[in-house]
Amino acid sequence: MKILYISLHVIYPMVQRKLVIKVQMTCDKCRTKALKLAAGAEGVTSVAIEGDDKSLVVVIGDEVDSVCLTRSLRKKVGYATIEQDSIRRDLRVEMISFHNPFVELS
For the stretch 24-68, pLDDT in tens is 998 999 999 999 999 999 989 999 999 999 999 999 998 889 999
What's the topology of domain 15-90? Alpha-Beta Plaits (3.30.70)
Q: In what order do the strands lie in the sheet with 56-62?
A: 44-50, 56-62, 2-23, 80-105
State the pLDDT confidence band at 95, using cuts at 50, 70 and 90: low
How confident is residue 14, by pLDDT bands cut at 50, 70 and 90?
low
Q: What is the mean pLDDT of the chain?
A: 81
Contacts of 58 (CB under 8 A, 6+ apart): 18, 19, 20, 47, 48, 49, 50
Whole-structure pTM value: 0.69
- At 12, the pLDDT band (50, 70, 90 cuts) reads low
